[in-house]
Structure 1
Amino acid sequence: MVTAETEREVEALLFAAAGALSLDDLARRLPEGADVEAALAALAARYTGRGVELVCVADRWRFQTAADLAWLMTEERDEPRRLSKAAQETLAIIAYHQPVTRAEIEAVRGVAASRGTLDVLLELGLVRMRGRRRTPGRPVTYGTTEAFLEHYGLASLADLPGVAEMKAAGLLSLDLPADFAMPDPAALGPDEDPLEAGEAPEFHTDYLGEAEELEN
């Protein structure tokens, strides 16, 4: 019959252990002749229904939170996502030169625009697809969102820092063309987003149709 002292010793070892312990692990630490199996059975019975239970996993024993209380151990927190240099440059080009197509972004950056970079900006809600340019191929144009203004604490696009300030802050390291200018706040305010003369208003229907074709 297991002694109370053996049960206490096994309990102490399991509580202090960094991981689960096998019968042999426990026996090596206990006095010779200690009934480890009986002590484990007694502890398992004593902890049944408690907030912490004694369980055997892969022939090793450990204390763990009762399964029905696992929800108490979860914690939700927001992890800020840092934009890559490519994403920062792409976002700056879109912000200062919207509405802008992928080809125009590539022309300014001098490298191919990664689909993943645009996907990240779209997923974060900083950028959205505005419409289609009324040019051959009807390319998609991109623009910023209200979430972009909120994220950077801007009342409107007119509050964007100048290109020189962006470069000085290390957020933009590009040799921009001479016609790369600040947006006109009169043409695009914080609460309105009129389509440019060269954009097609039926964009959303067209895009969804193409997306369905790709999926099929």
Structure 2
Amino acid sequence: MTAEPPFDVPTPEEQERMVEALLFASPEPLPTAKLAERLPPGCDPRAALARLQRLYEGRGVNLVRSGGAWAFRTAPDLRFLLSREVVETRKLSRAGIETLAIVAYHGPVTRTEIEEIRGVSVSKGTLDQLLELGWVRLGRRRETPGRPATYVTTDAFLDHFALESAADLPSLADLRAAGFLGEPTVQENLPLPDPEP
């Protein structure tokens, strides 16, 4: 036999309002258990969620469940109203671009291998910036002495550059055709050996 709470349990309408307020104020989806913790004792968040979901059905925002958590989201057919293209300029240094290209084309690659390919040492800040952007992440450790960490590109890198997979990276011929690489030239005054007879 359960004891009655020492106060009146909020009505279903009040519980619905409380759940609605919690979900609107939360910066992230809330699981049912988290809602239950925040509500007064005796409340039924599942019933309130079901009523709210019906109430918001067909409106500009819908109550949706994602995994085990609940949140208000723009109705799928109205998302186009909220999309706005913003150009965010985050300039990578030349070292950052070179390092990113090496990781993309040669990954998984160790820091030492990056330095060997570039011909100069890689500063910690360069890799940190790529890690912070989410374009590069740590991969598996190599089964070599010292077990060095490797670096690989991420799904965020593929998404940013509109690539389905690393196999979609442009080849050297593609880069040259697009004007990113100049045609290979021979320096004018460079002494070249005579061909053998």
- State TM-score, norm by structure 1: 0.41
- State TM-score, norm by structure 2: 0.45
Q: Which has the higher contact order (CA 8 A, sep 6+)?
A: 1
Larger radius of gyration: 1
